Amino acid sequence: MNQQRTPAKRMSYREWKIRKCLRLARNWVLFLAACGGAVALMSTGILWLLPKAHALIAGPVPFAARAYSADGYVCDTDDARLVVVNANLPLESEPAPELAVADDATGEQLETEAAAAYRSMAEAAQAAGVELNLVTGWQDADTRTAAYEALLTAYQAENSRLTGETAAAHTASLQPTASTSEQGTGYCADILSPDCTERSEAFAETRAYEWLTAYAADYGFILRWPEERQSATGMVYAPWHWRYVGVENARAIRESGLSLEEFLALERAKQ
């Protein structure tokens, strides 16, 4: 049985005009909303990109070295953390420091207080975008001896005309013998970074060295063999070789501009 369809009601001109206006208004709303979204997205992107573009153009923010005041500082020259071991002051007996792991990535150990200080320092450096790698910490006598002999052998192979005494003296200025190495105390830390993995003066050009120079004293560390103090330390400049002496001592030594040997000699002269 066929059913007849009811013919659709014809839209009046007025109704058609209203619908057209509503459709046009809806399209404009959608268009303006899309434009607003695009502008917001572009603005967010620009705000995110601007600081990064500025950083690329201007370069990394420098780490400013802090100035310390020695007012009120009293040096205890008997402080075990200030012990000096060098060619003139060799170890009288093998140290036996209490040790703790200072760098989980390398497993290197330092004396317990120094290890805790190093961890705090490495975390602070990481927060500033700098990665520190502790490549050498405490070493026993056999390891220190092996390090010295390996360098001596390599140096003699490269300079066969040198006498044994000359080669030994030169090697000792780069790598102390077991009895003259502070590495046995647990207070010395050889620190490098991912962009410089070799013990060389190139480390002085890294952001890690810049950060250490500015802030290491706040964690009790000093540069042990500074470039301008080689005559006092008897050691070749080593920007990677740092020494824990405690915060107050480190700040005072850093402010003095002296090597550890010179600083202690001056403090003892005052007493």
Examine the domain organization and report whether 122 and 234 are in the same domain.
Answer: yes
> Looking at the structure, do residues 17 and 106 belong to the same domain, yes or no?
no
- For 5-27, what is each residue's pLDDT tens digit? 555 556 666 766 777 777 777 77
- Asked whether residue 239 is domain-assigned, the answer is yes
3-state secondary structure of 186: coil
Q: What is the value of pTM for the model shown?
A: 0.78
Question: Which residue do the tokens 């070799």 mark?
Answer: 198
Same domain, 26 and 84: no
Q: For the chain, how many structural domains are there in total?
A: 2
Q: Please, where are the H alpha helices in the chain?
A: 13-58, 112-127, 141-158, 164-172, 207-215, 230-233, 247-256, 260-270
CATH number, residue 237: 3.30.1380.10
Both 20 and 122 in one domain: the answer is no
CA dist 258 and 251 (Å) reads 11
What is the rounded distance in angstroms from the CA atom of residue 133 to the CA atom of residue 118? 10
What does the DSSP 8-state code read for residue 65?
A: P
Q: Is the pLDDT of residue 47 over 90?
A: no
Residue 221, helix vs strand vs coil: strand
Residues 117 and 211 in one domain: yes
Of 58, 90, 111, which marks where a domain is finished? 58
Same domain, 118 and 200: yes
Helix (H) or strand (E) holding 192: strand 188-192
- Do 93 and 25 lie in a common domain? no
pLDDT value of position 26: 77
Residue 265 lies in a domain: yes
SS3 content of the chain, % helix, strand, coil (to 5): 55, 10, 40
In Å, the largest CA–CA distance within the chain is 124
Mean pLDDT of 150-164: 81
Whether residue 187 sits in one domain with residue 54:
no
Distance CA 154, CA 46 (A): 56
Are 115 and 22 in a shared domain?
Answer: no
Angle between helical axes of 141-158 and 164-172 (0-180°, round to 10): 130
**Residue 156 CB neighbours (<10 A):** 18
User: Are residues 52 and 106 located together in one domain of the fold?
Assistant: no
Residue pointed to by tokens 């208004």: 25
pLDDT of residue 46: 66
**Is residue 191 located within the same domain as residue 134?**
yes
66 in any annotated domain: no
The residue segments making up the domain with residue 229 are: 80-139+181-270
Q: What is the mean pLDDT of the chain?
A: 88
Question: Does any domain span residue 120?
Answer: yes
According to the model, what pLDDT value does residue 156 have? 85
Q: What is the pLDDT of residue 182?
A: 96
Q: Is the pLDDT higher at 245 or at 159?
A: 245
Is residue 226's pLDDT more than 60?
A: yes
For 67-77, how does the pLDDT look when each residue is reduced to its tens digit (9 = 90+)? Answer: 888 788 999 99
In a domain, 167, yes or no: no
Q: Are residues 132 and 214 in the same domain?
A: yes
* 175 part of a folded domain: no
CB count, 10 Å around CB of 270? 7
